[in-house]
A and B are shown apart, each in its own frame.
Chain A
Amino acid sequence: MRRSNAGSWSSSAPERAARRRALVALLLAVPAALPLGTAPGAAAQDRLAEGRREGRVVWYTPTALSTAERLARLFEQGHPGIKVDVHRSGAERIFQRLLQEAAAGIRNCDVLDTADAGHVVLLKRRGMLARYAPAGAERFPPAFRDPDGVAYGWRAFPVVIPYNPRLVPAAEAPRTWKDLLDPKWRGRLVTAHPGYAGSVLTQVLVLANRYGWEYWRQLAQQKPMLVQSVHDPSQVVSSGERPVGVNGAEYFLYAQRKKGHPVEIVYPEDGMPLIVVPAAVLAGAPHPAAARLFLDFLFSRPVQQHLAAEEGLYVPHPDVAYPPDKPRLGDLRLLPVDAEELERRHEEVKRRFVELFGA
């Protein structure tokens, strides 16, 4: 059954060798580049020593699990003696955990990044984030910068439409968000949940602003399968459970496609939200030095290059090269995302979504 594409499950040997070489080069480059990239000489050495004394850094992140764990291992190899604890979940889940912990007086998290820009607005207002600008931030594109010097975007991805090319010929695939309302997709869609994923919450709001809540009401009538993470539709689509997704994180789909999973990406012609993911150190971080080392690491050129080349992400660093099969960010039609509005309306978005979709 459906074996036509079977050979593509593993990449070819030369490809693997090339990737291994790139990774080794990256490993060698990270420790060398880091102290130089942040602060000159003695101060950097002090921070490294202090970070080692702290011994660990706790990272709350909505990054795809494989990407997050890969970064954690890379950091550990470049900073012997500092362990990274990854807590991966949806941005909305993480946010709730963080505030719940804060209310109970628990300080566990060191570094936070979130796919819901509204979170940063609220956390800043409450004074929960420390001021920390990564080195070279003045050269970042404006969308990734923070005028308050607290939370800079370290990665970005558009929310797109995934589909399974074995079940849907490219000519019949949806091309716009509106195409998803076609009766032929009834019972054949899957959507992630704005109560879990910050990027989906952003998407729901952005499309509601563009087409009205009527759009989501009609989409709900298509009876999509409901999953949680923005990464899950990829799995649902490539397994064939539903041939088309209402949403997907483009970088994750890109990586899955590269691994040979049957999933294709549609960049909707009517525009899409770009999710810029800010990262920040918590004001009460239990491991403050290690947290800053980790943030420096995320913004360092080798890591940013790795994110662009291997993980399929868009990054703020101006000196990275993207793979040829990725569209240039400037060529995509992006819809505006307003962090203040996200913060103001996220309760409403979640409430309406649950009312329309049932859970």
Chain B
Amino acid sequence: MIVVERALPVWIVAALLLVALMALPLGWLAWVSVSSERGATLAHYAAVFTDPRLQRALWTTLVMAAWVGLVAVALGAPLGWLTARTDLPGKAVIRSLVLASFVTPPFLGAFAWIMLAGPNAGLLNRLWRALTGADAPLVNIFSLPGLVFVIALYTFPYVYVMIANTLALIASDLEEAAAVLGAGRVRVALTVTLPMVLPAILSGFILAVLQALALFGSPAMLAMPAGFHTVTTQIWAFFQYPPRPEMAAAFSIPLLLATALLLQLQKLVLGRRGFATVGGRGAQRRPIPLGPWKYPALAAVLALMACAIVLPYGVLARAAFARAWAQPLGWENLTLANWTFTFLEYSATRGAVLNTLELGVTTATVGAALAALLAYIANRRLLPGHQALAFLALAPVVIPGVVLAVGLFLAYTRPPLVLYGTLWILFVAYVTKEMPVGYSQADATFRGIHPELEEAARVLGAGRLRVLREITAPLARGGIIAAWCFIFIGVIRELSASIILFTPATRVMSVVIFDLKEEGQFGAIAVLGLTMLVMTFATVLAVQKFLGRDVLGARS
């Protein structure tokens, strides 16, 4: 008992820290949204819900997110089934490409697709015109469908992961029984497999919708040129001069509610999965032969991967070495000037790369440590109310980055704690935003470590902290390092919160890329984008090493 009491302060401090991270910005957000110089008011909400332009932004965002969810399911679900259940060739390569799409910063994808599918200068549209002699473009990326398409390309992995992981756990005997009874492949898939994975599909759909709702970079690059806003870009626009943070706060609330509602829905869906077949690992799984569909299916999958990875990365690399991205890449258009400019002349590069690395390392370290501590407390039930702790650690999922940033901005631009203008405010934003990712990973890790070993050590007289240090920590190391890497990847690509919280002295790479985009500096963006991808993939390789499996989790 005495030993537990000595450790108690550690647990309590961790818990308090978490509450402060969450409560302060959200409290300010709520307060500012209802306050004016003349006391409490609902005027900001009235404005939000009567201004037709804001209404349109809200409606556009909902439509856009719903479509992203549908397209992501249409892409991710068949792909998950194909890699988990069939004899599709090249599964390992496909999985790596899905992983690449998963970690690609969405704003880089959007930027690349401007070069691919701008209605007139886009390379694909020019090719289309040259081949067909058509006048109209094949795709106009500056449109709502264009936006949906590009966002879906980088959110379908969420659906894929849900499907592939679920299918990997379901035995194939039911499907085989149906096949023996004479059902065709399509019929088996539709009447047997589909009902079993329906909860996973719904869940993936909701995850994709959540991603779409929270994105800032893609709509800023694709929607604003076409003259329409989404909720995130509108909130950001409220910060232009003269800034109206109270409107930003009031407009944040619908977004917050939508996310919270969707997550609740997801919980409901996942909570209902009652099929006895799910969870039976070890059962036989025989791949379904695709027969004549093998190569058409492969072609479709490769086409998707070309859209998500090959073409965008290719066009980024091309722009990085071109004087003018829209011109043919002959010798006279080939240059290293973008690289020398970005790394030798552009004075923002050095600071931004250093800030990004510094924030990435500190956030990942503190975040992973905090997540590990909290997951440990929750798993071993060390504090009364440990369930609340788990809830709080996962709660930031409902807060879109822009909304979190508005809250933090309101909380930390005034005394006593003026963090605005320092890296600290970004650090706080990142730790909060990445906590759910770190916590889930740490939680899974501790679930996998049986308490028996710890109990043995306790019996032999070791204190809780010593057990943690000498028994649990070494066992959990791989999982916690993976949590570190996940957080690190999340931080270096973060744009939606940073864009509101940065100052010229605290720019990070994503913000610099956005700055460059506003001036149309395609070459420098391509160079910084490729640099960011290299940093990301180096980290992904590290995860795989420490985790012994790939980031997406499922084995085929």
Contact = CB atoms under 8 A, between A and B. Distances in A.
A99 B504 contact: no
Contact of A58 (B118, B226, B328, B504): B504
Interface stretch (B227-235, B296-304, B528-536): B227-235
B41 interface: no
B268 to A, nearest CB: 36
B324 A239 contact: yes
A240 B325 CA distance: 11
A76 to B, nearest CB: 9
A131 B138 CA distance: 57
B421 A104 contact: yes
B89 to A, nearest CB: 36
B346 A239 contact: no
A226 B515 contact: no
A69 B224 contact: no
Contacts of B223: 359
Interface residues of A, number: 64
Interface string A1-30: 111001101100000000000000000000
Interface string B512-535: 000110111110000000000000
Nearest to A8: B332
Interface in B51-101: 53
A85 B354 CA distance: 15
B345 A69 contact: yes
A226 B520 contact: no
Given A84-B347, A226-B226, A239-B325, A1 B130 contact: yes
Give 9 nearest A-B pairs by CB, closest first.
A358-B227, A239-B326, A232-B520, A235-B520, A87-B504, A96-B241, A241-B121, A106-B421, A228-B518
Interface string B102-145: 00000000000000001111100010001000000000001000
B425 to A, nearest CB: 10
9 contacts: A60-B504, A70-B345, A96-B243, A100-B413, A106-B420, A195-B237, A196-B518, A225-B226, A241-B121
B118 A241 contact: yes
Interface residues of B, number: 53
A293 B418 CA distance: 31
Contact of B421 (A64, A89, A108, A355): A108
Contact of A101 (B122, B126, B351, B503): B503
A223 B142 CA distance: 12
Contacts of B518: 89-90, 196, 227-229, 232
B284 interface: no
B361 interface: no
B323 interface: yes
Nearest to A9: B332
A88 interface: yes
B120 A242 contact: yes
Contacts of B121: 236, 239-241
Interface of B: 53, 118-122, 126, 130, 142, 223-229, 233, 237, 239-243, 323-328, 330, 332-333, 341, 345-348, 351, 413-414, 418, 420-421, 503-505, 515-516, 518-522
B243 A100 contact: yes
B374 to A, nearest CB: 31
Given A1-B328, A235-B522, 12 more contacts: A2-B327, A9-B323, A58-B504, A58-B505, A86-B347, A89-B518, A96-B240, A229-B520, A239-B324, A259-B323, A357-B227, A359-B228
A239 B326 CA distance: 5
B545 to A, nearest CB: 38
Given A93-B240, A241-B121, A104 B515 contact: no
B519 A97 contact: no
B332 A7 contact: yes
B225 A226 contact: yes
Nearest to B345: A69
A195 B225 CA distance: 13
B520 to A, nearest CB: 4
A10 B227 contact: no
A259 B324 CA distance: 10
Most buried by A among B347, B351, B515: B347
